Amino acid sequence: MLPHPLITIVGALSKQGRSVAHALLESGRYRVRALTRRVNSLEAQRLASVGAELVNVPLELGYKQAMIEAFTGSHGVFLMTPPIAPPATHEAELGMELANSAVEAGVEHLVFSSLENVDEVTKSQKFAPHFTDKAKIEAYIRTLPVRSSFIYLAFFYTNLLEYYTPRMESDTLVFPIYLPRDFHAPFVDPLSATGPAVLEIFSYPEEYAGKSMPVIGDILSPDEIVSTFTRVTGKKAAYRSAYTREELLHHFPDFVANELLMRELLGMAEYATEYGYYRKERDLSWSRKINPNSLTWEKFLRVTGWQGQPQSFGV
Ligand SMILES: NC(=O)c1ccc[n+]([C@@H]2O[C@H](COP(=O)([O-])OP(=O)(O)OC[C@H]3O[C@@H](n4cnc5c(N)ncnc54)[C@H](OP(=O)(O)O)[C@@H]3O)[C@@H](O)[C@H]2O)c1
């Protein structure tokens, strides 16, 4: 009997990568090679204990040969780019180097975690390079002699746990949110939603060749985020706007240290609000159709038991 196809995952300990590794291994139909700098971490060891092969390669520029070696023998590769804060601007270059390495290693199918081209959609009116750079990587991958598919994750629920954390003001948990209170935006749990989407794509490669698929768990407003939190946890909570520069700085004064990052966060939120997070033609129901265990915000709160405390997903 032939061995199961091997899928190599870059950023295998990231929220997205971890989800992909577990979903592929749980399916029983794939072998997984997990790339990380932290092969001795608890999370890496957890992956190894369920069958992943760990390989120590950093998700950085300048490791092309190591990447080619790591990709060799793989049927497929899941590529993602890590958070890269300005003034660093190497996201597009990194993504292209990863894709070139996969092609040189003879990989048959690339799945890349991409996003919309904000520069193109807004005619350069909004500044969100971490979207546009992913779109540039996607456009480049489409020129390569390899089958490719793309997923576009919605805003992560986990942003409220990791980055824009709520804080107590007298008896109320205050949520400073980067979107206007009544704007309905797509959100997702990257830890449980990425894997099923990527498993579906590798399972039906011809159907998804050249396709860009949104991955969404819920579409809801910040007001609904807060009222659902109160309904599920019983805790008194309130929305506060962190949508404008002044509001963002009021709630997160540390952002003053990186003016460009602040511009990028504001640009991203304005883009989503004024133009829509996804282009009109995207299929917003796909990920929820193919994944019956998809988490709405309410289910996310019930499953995780999150009570409003800061949480880190590093390991
Ligand atoms: N937050 C959102 O709402 C949202 C929505 C859509 C898309 N995204 C995109 O999702 C991506 C982040 O995904 P995630 O949250 O799943 O990642 P994550 O949990 O923050 O993990 C980042 C991974 O990147 C690696 N990494 C980070 N910095 C590195 C460095 N300096 N050198 C080498 N490796 C580094 C780490 O690998 P090691 O294991 O080696 O440490 C880690 O596994 C970003 O590109 C972001 O733009 C975010």
Q: What is the pLDDT of residues 214-223, one digit of tens each?
A: 999 999 999 9
Q: Residue 315 — very low, low, confident or very high, per pLDDT cuts 50/70/90?
A: low
* pLDDT > 70? residue 58: yes
- Residue 86 CA to ligand 1 center (angstroms) comes to 14
| Cis peptide upstream of residue 87 (ω within 30 degrees of 0) | yes
Nearest CA to ligand 1 atom 17: 14
Nearest CA to ligand 1 atom 9: 83
Q: Distance between CA 272 and CA 292 in Å, rounded?
A: 27
Mean pLDDT of the chain: 97
Beta bridge partners of 177: 241
Nearest CA to ligand 1 atom 35: 59
- Residue 235 CA to ligand 1 center (angstroms) comes to 31
Per the listing, tokens 């490719």 go with 148
Cβ of 38 closer than 6 Å to ligand 1, yes or no, is yes
Q: Which CATH number does 6-152+190-215+278-291 carry?
A: 3.40.50.720
Query: Hey, which of 35, 37, 312 would you mutate to test ligand 1's pocket, going by the most ligand atoms within 8 Å of its Cβ?
Result: 37
- Residue 14 CA to ligand 1 center (angstroms) comes to 5
- The tens digit of pLDDT for each residue in 121-156 reads 999 999 999 999 999 999 999 999 999 999 999 999
Question: Can you give the pLDDT at residue 189?
Answer: 98
Q: Which atom of ligand 1 is nearest to the CA of 15?
A: 16
Question: Can you give the pLDDT at residue 49?
Answer: 98
Kindly list the distances between the CA atom of residue 118 and the CA atoms of 86, 127, 257, in Å, as whole numbers in the listed order.
16, 7, 25
Cβ of 274 closer than 6 Å to ligand 1, yes or no, is no
- Average pLDDT for 24-34: 98
Question: Can you give the pLDDT at residue 22?
Answer: 98
Nearest CA to ligand 1 atom 43: 14
- The tens digit of pLDDT for each residue in 223-235 reads 999 999 999 999 9
Q: Distance between CA 28 and CA 34 in Å, rounded?
A: 16
- The tens digit of pLDDT for each residue in 249-288 reads 999 999 989 999 999 999 999 999 999 999 999 999 999 9
Nearest CA to ligand 1 atom 1: 156
What order of strands is seen across the sheet that includes strand 109-114?
A: 53-56, 31-36, 6-9, 76-79, 109-114, 147-153, 212-215
Q: Residue 310 — very low, low, confident or very high, per pLDDT cuts 50/70/90?
A: very high
Question: Can you give the pLDDT at residue 272?
Answer: 98
For the chain, the straight-line distance linking the first and the last C-alpha, in angstroms and rounded, comes to 37
Question: Can you give the pLDDT at residue 2?
Answer: 83
CA angle 263, 264, 268 (to 5 degrees): 120
pTM listed for this prediction: 0.98
Nearest CA to ligand 1 atom 26: 82
- The tens digit of pLDDT for each residue in 90-112 reads 999 999 999 999 999 999 999 99
Q: Which atom of ligand 1 is nearest to the CA of 83?
A: 44
- Residue 296 CA to ligand 1 center (angstroms) comes to 22
* pLDDT > 90? residue 314: no
